[in-house]
Structures are given as structure tokens and as C-alpha cells.
Amino acid sequence: MNTLYYGDNLDILKKHIKNETVDLIYLDPPFQSGKNYNIIFQPKTGAIRGATSQIKTFEDTWRWGEEAEREYTELITGTLTTEPPSQKLIDLMKAFRGYLAECPLLAYLCMMAPRLLEMKRVLKQTGSIYLHCDPTASHYLKLLMDSIFGVSNFRREIIWVLKGASGYKSLVNSFVRGHDTILYYSKSKNPIFNKKYLPYNEAQLKRFRKDKNGRMFKTITKDRVMYLDEAKGVPITDVWTDIASFQTVVNSPEITGYPTQKPEALLERIIKASSNPGDTVLDPFCGCGTTIAVAEKTKRAWIGIDITYLAIDVIKKRLEKNHIKENEHFQVYGEPKDVYSAGQLAKQKPFQFEVWAVSQLNATPTVKTGDKGIDGIINFIDYTKKEKIGRGIISVKGGYSINPGMVRDLKGTIQSQIADFGILITLRKPTRGMIEEAVKEGSFNYCYQEGTTHKIIPKIQLLTVEDLFTDPIPVKLPPTVIEPYRKPDIKKDNRQQTLLM
């Protein structure tokens, strides 16, 4: 069955993906491309102080620290990956360190190298891999790919021209960025490849003329002609100018609000070119799930992996919107399945626990720091308001110590944020004092449809993690909750979507 994994893709590749079981890999790994280019080359001076190379939700942060040092050491000693690295890769990593010193870029390369090794292991002999990147580190990544997959298995450097590039920020005294790079490699000399064509444009069609029978043809050589009705079109080159980025298609129904989302047309070209129906496609940094959505649509099997639960939630809702149901059409590994595993997630990864809890209520997680006690937002239609939009807030507490002060804090947040109601989620059952504090706040009236009577829900509701595993969850919500990750503005096109960040 198609599978979505929540967790570190290095661990999942090693533990769950068998040798030579994948036909195609597409990855768009995170990077600090929006920051000052020079920062990633800046060496770290002084002693290591516990900093780490890590992936944060929607923010690519790479720092040299203890984890990066460990990954580097374990990689070159052959203890980090299922199969040991080649001497070429070991020499390359040593050369990177000698040239770059201990800087964020080296931490990034130490993260990528073992994962690319595992990707090669799971790829079939006829398989291909497409690594999507930008010029910030594409030249270093190409060296990594050369050392792992082999120079002879380099197929193409694809240039995806970003239409509407004027919307991108440019460096001072430099040109505006206008393209992304996709490094295309195969595992062997004979990969699956289905040649693709574009329709002839008007200028190309003018080169055809009619023969005596009325068929359109053009002369290829002195002894060879091509008939239009037999021609497949113009072979696609490695410069792709015909696929628009979301900078110019802001109203696309595809848009999930995920900042690094790529258009489905881009993935459809890659998937159809380098795999066949029934083949298995892997995206180890699957983000909002465009690879998965296209693989599903083109009848490929798929595996998706992401280290943030926010991505898992976005993908699940994206699939469910297209009537692709969990446990029926796909399965999810790594997310909490009971109170104990939820408690463990709260202990080990507090932020991911908050995102998971909020997602169970079909709400939108907040992902910025300084959120003033708000871990999730519920936007809903309310005709009692001038702007027709109401707002509920969610606060999640992952500790085992709870008290009435938490309810009073939520009350204060509701008032300061001008919210309509609030929900407090805790690991333990609320105390009598907490229940009394919640009851004191009374109820909230709203109208979800013009001309209908008002509905009433409690101003503050208390839920436990155990409640989140019941069906249905014992919570009262407005029936017209606006879909998570969409911009809550019913006056405008509801297809415009932005993450509440």
C-alpha cells in the first residue's frame, strides 16, 4: 500500500525501504536559499556549543554543531549508512571540510550525503533520481551526486525557467533569479525513459506544406520527409520554459499554502518521463505532497517521507480532498496512535506534538514563534460579523502538570486576540478548578448561514489527548469551518490560500 512516513528520512530509508525497490526518486530538499548567500560560507569559530544541523518547519536552518560533527565522522567511518561510502565520497567530504571549514553549508552537505547514499541503495538498476535545487548549493550537490551515482550516470542538468521572475528578490548589484536547477541522474546506463514532446508552435507549423493528397509535410533531408499527422511534436529539451511557477498562477486550485510548493505540471513531466504506471515513486522530502498527488493521479505507487508533522497533515488533507482515504488507499507511519505515543511525541518534539494535536481538530497550526499562546486557529463563517469571518483559537499543553491558571491564560488570550472561543488541549484530564473556570466564561453565539437562527457553543472547551483518539471527538465546532491552510476571506476567491505563519 502507498505509504506516508513521519520522521527523519535517513532512519526511515534504513529501516523501512528495501534494496532496489524504487523506480524513481524526486527530492526538493530544504535549503537556506532566501538568506544572505555569504552566511552559509561563514566558518564557525570557537568551541562547539551544542548547535546542530536541523530542519525547522518552513525555515531551512543549518548550523555546524555536535550533530553535524557526528554525521561527518560516522559517514566517513562507514557507520552511518546501510552500505559504506566509496573512497571517492570520503575524499570528497574531507575536501569539502578542508575548503569550506565548519560552516552551515558543510553541515548541509553532511546531512545530504548519507541520505543520497541510502537513496541510491533503494533505487532499482533501471531507476532515476531528480534532485531539485537552486544555485546556492547546486554545484556542491552535483559533486556529491557524481561521487555517489557516478559521473557516467549523470543525464542532464535541467533548467526550469521561473516565469514571473520579477517577483523574486535579487541580491544588491546582481541579476534577478530566474531559474531552478534539477540534477537528473540514473543508477545505470539503461534507465527507464519515455521521450516527451511539446506541440508545434505557429512558427514551426508554417514549415509544413501540403502534398498533392492534401497531407501536411516538411522536408527533413533530401530523401526524407515528415508528415504532420505522424509527427509527435518537438522533443523536450533540458530547458523548461513552458511550466509556470506559482508566482504567476496565484489562483491555482493546486496551491496548499506551503511556501516551497512546486506545480503539478513539473512533477507530471518528471514522473511520466522516468517511470511507468505501476512503478514506485519516492519523495524523501515530500513537503506538501505534490509528488504524491501526481503519482496517485498517474497511477504510480508512492512513498512519501517528511520530518515535520505539518507536512504530513497537509498531505493527508490534500489526498482526502480528492477522496483518497487513509487506511483504505494509503497508510501513515510515525504519527501518534494512542495516548502513550502522543505523550512520547510531546516529550521528544513539543512543537510537532502541538501541530499534531491541532490537526486532529481540522485547524490550522501556527508556525511562527511569539504566537502569544496560540497553537492553532479555526476560521469559520459567521454572519453575525461584518466581515463574515469568525475565529477560534487552540492552546496545547504537552506537560503533565495542569492547573486552572491555564484556563485563565486562554481566557486572556481570547480577549487580547479578539477571538470568539478557545479550546485547551492537555495530556491529563482537567481538574475541577479548570472545569469551573471554563464554565464561568459562558457561551458564544454565531450564525453560519444567512437567515438562519443563531447557534451556541461554549466559550472555552477543554479536551484531553485521549479525546483526540475518539470518534467523533467530543468538541463543539461551527459546521462551516474554513479549510485549513486557506486564506479566510469569503469576499475574494477562496482558492487563494496562504499559511497562517
What residue segments make up the domains of the chain, in order of their start? 2-37+121-194+237-333, 202-234, 340-468
Q: What is the pLDDT of residues 42-85, one digit of tens each?
A: 565 443 333 333 334 444 457 888 889 999 999 999 999 999 99
* Strand-strand pairing, 53-56 and 59-62: antiparallel
Predicted pLDDT of residue 40? 52
Q: How many Å apart are CA 501 and CA 498, to the nearest integer?
A: 8
Q: What is the pLDDT of residue 130?
A: 98
- This prediction has a pTM of 0.86
Whole-angstrom distance, CA of residue 311 vs CA of residue 58:
10
pLDDT at 250: 56
Q: Give the count of beta carbons closer than 10 Å to the beta carbon of residue 263.
A: 18
Give the integer Cα–Cα distance in Å for 114 and 119: 9
Class of domain 340-468 (CATH, top level)? alpha beta
Structure confidence at residue 310 (pLDDT): 87
Element at 407 (helix H, strand E) = helix 404-416
CA–CA separation, 46 and 447 (whole Å): 61
Q: Which amino acid appears at position 394 of this protein?
A: I
CATH fourth-level superfamily of 2-37+121-194+237-333: Vaccinia Virus protein VP39 (3.40.50.150)
Could you tell me if 228 and 214 are in contact, meaning their C-beta atoms sit under 8 angstroms apart? no
Give CA–CA dist 276/126, Å, rounded.
Answer: 11
pLDDT digits (tens, 9 = 90+) for 165-217: 544 555 567 787 788 999 999 999 999 999 999 888 888 888 888 888 888 88
The pLDDT assigned to 388 comes to 86
Least Cα distance to 191 among 141, 131, 129, 236 occurs for 129
Please list, in sequence order, all residues whose beta carbon lies within 8 angstroms of the beta carbon of residue 56, skipping any fewer than 6 positions away. Answer: none
Please report, for the chain, how many H helices and E strands are present, in that order: 14, 23
Helix or strand (DSSP H, E) at 100: helix 87-100
* HSE-CB of 445 using CA atoms within 13 angstroms: 4
With H, G, I as helix, E, B as strand and everything else as coil, classify residue 223: coil
Contact 472, 458 (CB under 8 A): no
- For 366, residues 6+ apart whose C-beta sits below 8 A from its C-beta are 374, 375, 376, 377, 500, 501
pLDDT at 369: 46
C-alpha cell at 17: 525501504
User: How crowded is the C-beta side of 236, counted as CA atoms within 13 Å?
Assistant: 20
The reported pLDDT for the residue numbered 28 is 94
CB 99 within 8 A of CB 56: no
Q: Rounded to 5 degrees, what angle do the CA atoms 397, 399, 402 make? A: 75
Question: What are the residue ranges in the chain where pLDDT is below 50?
Answer: 34, 36-37, 39, 45-60, 166-167, 369-370, 490-501
